[in-house]
Structure 1
Amino acid sequence: MTQFRPCIDLHQGKVKQIVGGSLNDKGATENFISEYNAEHYAAMYREHGLIGGHVIALGKGNQEEAISALRAYPDGLQFGGGVKHNNAASYLNAGASHVIVTSYLFENGEFSWDRLDKIKRETGTDRLVLDLSCRRTDNGWYIATDRWQTITSTQVNQENLIELANHCDEFLIHAADVEGLQAGIDEELVHLLGQGCPVAVTYAGGARSLSDLKRVHELSNGKVDLTIGSALDIFGGRGVTLDECILWNQSQK
């Protein structure tokens, strides 16, 4: 059954909501900057029993905030952002339930099975989430790395989803083209994920109301979970409240 999954997005040491496709070395288009720190949000999610959420560090300057969130909700949050084979264990030791990895797995735009094996030796498959965040092209969706600015040669399709599922516990997939725009989810991508994912998958991008949880449930036959960011009231949004999302999760159980 489709569940709401919470998030904490960190940029320049602050909890923010940004337009995903705008992120680059100079900054990003910001929808929201919180007056609260990451620990505040982690404690909130722990208090309400929300599981499977993620902390994402977008660029440098987020380490302290990320660690404080993980320590505030041990084994309750996944962590992604600059994760490599030589630092993955440190985030797990700090309290992350899983680590999320993307850019490290690619060399010159090509997927590296050797790097995947290296990080699996540190995490095991059961504590590894593969971030297959992607951008749409004329030929479908392709994984995008380096803060979603570099489109790789690896397509998000049923064949690759099935193959990669053998090496991880979950997938996290941001639709970078609609991330932060509150203009609606990428329905075709959600449908594809529901058809082709043999492991748990969380989709993020474009959600704007409680009805998007229902729509993701319908499109994926309940196999895809949804993260809502900019539209959520705790991030300054007016589309849906955290309380509504909590009630949705309870109703699905």
Structure 2
Amino acid sequence: MRFRPCIDIHDGKVKQIVGETLDDHKEVIENFVSTYSPSYYANLFKKNNLTGGHVIMLGKGNVDAALEALEAYPGGLHIGGGINADNALLFLNNGASHVIITSYIFPNGRFSLENLKHIVSLVGKEKLVIDLSCKEKNGKWLVAINKWKTTTDFELNSSNLKLLQSYCDELLIHAVDVEGKQSGFSEELVTHIAKNALIPITYAGGIRSIEDLENFYRISQGKIDFTIGSALDIFGGKLKFNDVLNFVAR
């Protein structure tokens, strides 16, 4: 189990927000707005040898800020948020180790194996991460796209997870219902992911304490990596960044 750090960028600034409020027609609920630059956090993660973290561009106008983070830590970060076949190589050529895709493979809310195969042909399976941000509905985990406003009919069942893992290097799975709320992680989703993990998978959403991490490790049997945002002290929360580092080093 590894700690995968994150740098979420909104309006060109490093922020932590409640993901479900990321809507063009609603006021975004901000948990934290940093006075530090993206490169500050990239250098912090580099200093602590944390690899495979992700930079997420939340909306338009964040490319320059994202490139700043990639430049500070070349080869150490993944990049996501509006990635498609037209811009993926730009970020890989500017320091990203992987590109993260979601909406591109769900045009009009429907899964497109053709789009997936196309971007794999461009960047290579070993450079691709698929973000399966999902919401729970009627006992099923359904992929959410378009700033999490659109819930697709694509279920994170065993067969679909097996299929997607054959086309990418890693999966990143956000539990949208608890993302940014510091209300605890989704034990049901983590259990389901761990049973179906064939490649590295990072879970995001709700982890808020060392106790949560202990429970996460037990439920996932150490098979799943994790990220923490709003709960960390470096993002205005109470959970100390160094305590998380010490936990994974045990």
Instruction: For 1:169-248, list aligned pairs within 5 A.
Output: 169-238=169-238, 240-248=239-247
Amino acid at match of 1:12: D
TM-score, structure 1 normalization = 0.96
The corresponding residue for 1:20 is: 19
Q: Does 1:84 align with 2:84?
A: yes
Shift of 1:213: 1.9
Q: What is the distance in 2 between the residues matched to 1:166 and 1:160?
A: 10
The number of residues matched between the two structures is 249
Instruction: For 1:60-209, list aligned pairs within 5 A.
Output: 60-209=60-209
Q: What is the distance in 1 between the residues matched to 2:66 and 2:100?
A: 13
Q: What is the distance in 2 between the residues matched to 1:4 and 1:245?
A: 8
Q: What is the distance in 1 between the residues matched to 2:142 and 2:186?
A: 14
Residue ranges of structure 2 left out of the alignment (5+ in a row): none
Kindly provide the CA deviation profile for residues 74-110 of structure 1, in whole angstroms up to 9, marking residues without a partner as x: 1100000110112111111110010000001112211
Kindly provide the CA deviation profile for residues 122-148 of structure 1, in whole angstroms up to 9, marking residues without a partner as x: 111101000001011014110000011
Amino acid at match of 2:17: I
**Contact kept? 1:4, 1:213, Cα under 8 Å:** no
Amino acid at match of 1:249: V
Q: What is the distance in 2 between the residues matched to 1:93 and 1:195?
A: 35
The corresponding residue for 1:250 is: 249
SS at match of 1:208: coil
Q: What is the distance in 2 between the residues matched to 1:249 and 1:28?
A: 32
Kindly provide the CA deviation profile for residues 157-183 of structure 1, in whole angstroms up to 9, marking residues without a partner as x: 111111111000000011011000000
Shift of 1:47: 0.6
- Report percent identity of matched pairs: 49
**Contact kept? 1:216, 1:225, Cα under 8 Å:** no
Q: What is the distance in 1 between the residues matched to 2:2 and 2:186?
A: 17
**Contact kept? 1:3, 1:213, Cα under 8 Å:** no
Q: Does 1:52 align with 2:57?
A: no
Amino acid at match of 1:13: G
Amino acid at match of 2:197: C
Shift of 1:52: 1.1
**Contact kept? 1:178, 1:184, Cα under 8 Å:** yes
The alignment yields a C-alpha RMSD, in angstroms, of: 0.9
Q: What is the distance in 1 between the residues matched to 2:154 and 2:185?
A: 22
Q: What is the distance in 2 between the residues matched to 1:139 and 1:214?
A: 26
**Contact kept? 1:158, 1:197, Cα under 8 Å:** no
SS at match of 1:17: strand
Q: What is the distance in 1 between the residues matched to 2:102 and 2:217?
A: 26
Q: What is the distance in 1 between the residues matched to 2:139 and 2:221?
A: 25
Q: What is the distance in 2 between the residues matched to 1:212 and 1:223?
A: 16
